[in-house]
Every structure is written in C-alpha cells, then in structure tokens.
Amino acid sequence: MRTEDFRYELPAASIAQEAVEPRDSARLLVVATMEDRTFADLPALLDPADVVVVNDTRVRAARLVGRKRETGGEVELLLLRRVDAQRWEALVKPARRLRSGVELDLGEISGELLSDPIGGMAVVALSATGGRDVEDALPAVGTVPLPPYFHGTLSDPERYQTVFAKRVGSAAAPTAALHFTPGVLAGLAARGVPVATVDLEVGIDTFRPIATETLDAHVMQTERFAVPQAAVAAVDECRARGGRVVAIGTTVVRTLESVAVPEGRIEARRGETDLFIAPGYEPRVVDALVTNFHAPATTLTVLIASLLGARWRSVYATAIERGYRFLSFGDAMYLDDTGRRR
C-alpha cells in the first residue's frame, strides 16, 4: 500500500499548542455515534466487565545539548534507546556535520559518536562524571523532549508525564493516557472497571513520518516492552466475564498484540517488538481503543486506518471540522469496536 494513502490535510490551527487543564477536560469523540463528549465521561462509556490497559512508561530527560570538543560547534542529541551500559541510539543534530569519532561535551556527560549518522540516527557512547550511571545523570543534564510540532510552553514538565508514569525509558509520552486524572480513575473504580498496566518504551516511530513510498518498505524500529503477570490475570478475568480489553493508546495496542496467544489472551513476557499494524491486520486481543488524533502518514495513522477501515478519513475530517485538537496535547477519540470478535 502507498504511504500517500494515509496522508491528510492537517491545518496548523488544529495542532494543540497548549495542555488543557484539568487534563480530563479534553474532548472525546465517540466514533460509534460521532457524539462529542469529554474525557471525564470515559468511565460511563465502559462496562464493569471491561478492563482498561495503560502504558506506565516514563519519559526520560532525553534531550541533551552540548558542543563538539574539537571545534566547539553546538550539537543536540535525543536519546532514543539504551543499547548497553555505554552505547545509546540517538537522533543527532546537525547530522550532516557529525561523523564517527567526534567527541562531545554535554556538561556532566561526555560522548563519542560510534557511527556515522544515517537518517539522523547514530550510535553514541556516553559516560557520566564521577563514575555515575548515565541514566542517573540525565535528570540534571537533559530535558524532557517535547514534540517538535509543539511550540507552546509547559509550566510544569510533569504535564508531559502520565499519572501512571513509573519506569524511565521512553523518548515520548504515551499521549492517550495524558488525559487521565485521579477523578477518572475514581470513576473507573466506582464503575467496577479495573486498570492494568504494561510498559513499552516509546521510540522514534511514534513521532516520525513514514519516509518510504510504500508501507512494505518501512522498517519499524524495535521498542522494548514488559507485560507483567498481573496484566495477564486482568485480561484473563476480563475474558471470563465476557468483557472487552480497552487499550489506552496505540503503544498499548502494539504491546498487547505482540504477546497475543489463542482465544484473545496474552502472555507475560519481556522483549522487543517491531510490530507494524496496517490494513489487513486482524486484532487478536484489543477490543476497544482510546487514542489521540495522529499526524499524517505516520505508523499511528496507519494503525487507526487498519481498525477503522476507509472510515478513518471521515472521522478525522469530522474531528477537524468540529475543532478537535490534534497530536500529543490534543483531544482523543474512543473506538469501541476494533473488529476483533467479528
């Protein structure tokens, strides 16, 4: 399939440039009826037999700004993934002026490029002063990377973390879960809807457009995930009572579908996934989805198209017409039927 088939016209005015407060005041488009609700209404849209699954990853302070040790030229790194104790995969700028062997001064962290940048990405060796682990030094040296299309400001960096955020590991937030508040969680508890957690380290395919002409040519970057036994038990109990597995965000969809076993169940596992969900894919676990509105020609838009079919265009067009806010700090939609049980 052509990547162009998943492009649409996104007006600049539709891209959210501020984080609304409270978080659950974001709008929620109910796809089945095209009804306008707010995220605070989510508990009322679910059944006590359902289970909500969220991604509890935490965004690391992955943006580093420093200088080339030899020339003093400014450099910027966005850490995408830790390979081992020293090596990291990173987006580097200015990529055209950086080559393998270049040494970097990043304040309390020193670096050296171990590869020439390809597509802006390179492998970098990092070490922190005082023998500290680089991960421990990042909060003081780096900053949480906000999306490149977001030109607003946040009064509190924690606004780009979900209320579930625990283990540091992502380069971007699982944005659908940014709408949750203690009030929404209380509403789910009152409704009898349990919440289960999985972990997926959000990587570059979340925010980078597909660069190939066809979907078949696109290579997904691997992302680490962890599915605990508690999540398996929650899904098993949901199946036993005839409920639906409701994924909060595309990262949860990819995680659950990556560990699917027969009869709509999942298995506890840690690993890496490069699952690319595109039209023709049949969901094995996820029955319903809450997600934000995604950028044109990205793997996320392709995933939505695989679940909605050709209707995805009219849903997105309606959202734009009604003034829904798009992308990371935007509004959300609720797709109550992914087609798993058809």
How far is the C-alpha of 83 from the C-alpha of 97, rounded, in Å? 24
Q: Which domain holds residue 90?
A: 63-141
CATH code of the domain covering residue 327: 3.40.1780.10
Cα dist from 69 to 133, 191, 250, 270, whole Å:
21, 58, 40, 38
| pTM, 2 dp | 0.95
- Per the CB < 8 A criterion, the answer to whether 290 and 334 are in contact is yes
Q: What is the pLDDT of residues 49-101, one digit of tens each?
A: 999 999 999 999 999 999 999 999 999 999 999 999 999 999 999 999 999 99
Does 164 have pLDDT greater than 80? yes
Does 206 have pLDDT greater than 80? no
Within this chain, do residues 316 and 257 fall inside the same structural domain, yes or no? yes
Place of tokens 């838009």: 301
Q: What is the mean pLDDT of residues 209-238?
A: 96
Within this chain, do residues 176 and 110 fall inside the same structural domain, yes or no? no
Query: CA quadruple 15, 17, 23, 25: dihedral positive or negative?
Result: negative
CATH code of the domain covering residue 76: 2.40.10.240
Q: What is the pLDDT of residues 286-299, one digit of tens each?
A: 999 999 999 999 99
Within this chain, do residues 46 and 182 fall inside the same structural domain, yes or no? yes
Last residue of a domain, one of 84, 116, 141: 141
Q: What is the pLDDT of residues 18-36, one digit of tens each?
A: 999 999 999 999 999 999 9
Q: Of 187 and 148, which is predicted with more confidence?
A: 187
How far is the C-alpha of 278 from the C-alpha of 260, rounded, in Å? 17
Q: Is residue 228 part of a domain?
A: yes
* CA-wise closest residue to 66 among 30, 90, 33: 90
Last residue of a domain, one of 141, 168, 185: 141
How far is the C-alpha of 165 from the C-alpha of 154, rounded, in Å? 18
Within this chain, do residues 317 and 176 fall inside the same structural domain, yes or no? yes
Residue 342, pLDDT score? 65
Q: What is the pLDDT of residues 299-327, one digit of tens each?
A: 999 999 999 999 999 999 999 999 999 99
Mean pLDDT, the chain, as a whole number? 96
Last residue of a domain, one of 115, 141, 167: 141
Does 341 have pLDDT greater than 90? no
Within this chain, do residues 79 and 39 fall inside the same structural domain, yes or no? no
Q: How many domains does the chain have?
A: 2
